[in-house]
Structure 1
């Protein structure tokens, strides 16, 4: 049975933007960072062996690195440790090569393309399976060692990613991973405002929808309340701010220890202030000191008004409405 987290990640990584972010930001292979999105193509990940036994990999992408050079990226999503993952990856790679031949995608005499096998793991237990097939094979008798199979795969253990690295990684995946891993105050003050700003700035509706749905599921799982992210039109995007404030009040259940009413009001102001600051920086760059002071001293009503204006305003003057910064 397919785990719910698998479905969520498959929806995220159905977008070439996020596949590129994953490869460039969370693997050692930085060469993917400069590759155009048009060079990423998702291909069939269902193969049938010679015995008609149906096998499925989670996702396969073909990435064109240069003229005549393609790399196939096999993405496998795991919520639990699989002791024989290296065996499974070797099987998937063999079936992929076999499938390429059956579909006549290899010219006669042409060498097989390189493959990057990648396991994305978000389970609670630390990953303990061998990353190398040699780790699950018995030692071969003398003389047979050269004939034993070999296979390695790359592991991304999401729940054990370094927090400082996540903070310095400038892509939306880092924000989504931090949403799962960070403390409640950091989520309210930094991560959610940054995600809202990212959603506002992205014209691709399908990509925004996948990110918003995934983020809402994480928020609901952590807080027990519906997430604040919406995206269908500008009115709903503007309403995310109000949803965030309501949601922040309930954040105490996951560690936002502001039990009294005045504490909740303070938390709402902190969240709204961070949201306005993030939005305006994304639209107008570094903010001048007077603008920062106004945000810091703004009332709830002023901050709400500046956030709504900031979505479409042409300048900071238009945001603050009176020509002052």
Structure 2
């Protein structure tokens, strides 16, 4: 992944709504449903050293509970494909640095707030590093004197495709795109569009920017600035057209080509519906989309 993709990936999780989807979809802890995401506040701090910034990134959120207390979420995003066996030690160090920062800001503090550490891993290799710090320490002394610390792992490649589709949110779509072969995504384009239509415009825009950096090198012209969600279907249809050209050149099977054609036509149908609502004539819509006038009338 190049730097732009890393930046856009982190930017997605800078939105409280996507943070909410991540926790509700992936963290089966009872306290998650008691969080007030409307008052979530991102903390402008980072404890990643300059030498590690190309391999990882971090996000810190302060979120109050509905009951009034608060919790901090420390999210470490791991970009490198190799597995760090001592990840638990690294995340513990970052967590302790966060605590030190909080004490510096509030020296009169008598009790530290809870910090929930999350590892978000999007590499291809299976994550095998211990999640518990104690598993990295020799146990020849009493366990009472061995630090107890565990991070919560979210590894994208451990989710089954059906489960991701069943989420029906951008977290499912994000993980699906990153873990699925390009040609296998074609029949799922409409479902991704349907998900985008349910999201806030700024999140949809961030997701399309991420799609651009994920698939394209160099960056194409088809996504420059998405300010309204209604623009997304057309842009995704353009992406599918690009996929079609690439796959046909590679001599893929007729079944895949048929899936590509249907994905493109569905995108054009969605565009035609929106143009009809804007009052454009059937003839003009047919010229733009390539659909027949009869088909446009029946939409």
TM-score range, shorter chain: 0.7 to 0.9
**Counterpart residue number, 2:144:** 146
**CA 162–245 in structure 1, closer or farther in 2 if over 3 Å, else same:** closer
Higher Cα radius of gyration? 1
How many residues get paired? 276
**Counterpart residue number, 2:238:** 243
* Farther-moved stretch of structure 1 (8-17 vs 129-138): 8-17
**CA 245–36 in structure 1, closer or farther in 2 if over 3 Å, else same:** same
CA distance in 2, matches of 1:21, 1:234: 19
Give the C-alpha shift of residue 170 in structure 1: 2.0
Structural mapping, 1:225-264, within 5 Å: 226=220, 231-232=226-227, 236-237=231-232, 239-240=234-235, 242-252=237-247, 257-258=252-253, 264=257
Q: Point out where structure 2 has 5 or more consecutive residues left out of the alignment.
A: 281-294
Work out which of the residue numbers 272, 280, 284 in structure 1 matches 2:264: 272
* Farther-moved stretch of structure 1 (211-220 vs 237-246): 237-246
**CA 147–193 in structure 1, closer or farther in 2 if over 3 Å, else same:** same
- Helix, strand or coil: the match of 1:66? coil
RMSD of equivalent CA atoms: 3.8
Give the C-alpha shift of residue 59 in structure 1: 1.1
Structural mapping, 1:86-97, within 5 Å: 86-97=88-99
**CA 153–201 in structure 1, closer or farther in 2 if over 3 Å, else same:** closer
Work out which of the residue numbers 273, 280, 289 in structure 2 matches 1:306: 273
**CA 180–310 in structure 1, closer or farther in 2 if over 3 Å, else same:** farther
CA distance in 2, matches of 1:268, 1:108: 59
Q: Point out where structure 1 has 5 or more consecutive residues left out of the alignment.
A: 49-54, 277-301, 314-319
Higher relative contact order (CA 8 A, sep 6+): 2
CA distance in 2, matches of 1:163, 1:14: 25
When the two structures are superposed, what TM-score results if normalisation uses the length of structure 2?
0.76
CA distance in 2, matches of 1:112, 1:93: 12
**Counterpart residue number, 1:98:** 100
1:13 lines up with 2:13 in the alignment = yes
**Counterpart residue number, 1:290:** none
When the two structures are superposed, what TM-score results if normalisation uses the length of structure 1?
0.70
Structural mapping, 1:219-230, within 5 Å: 219-220=215-216, 226=220
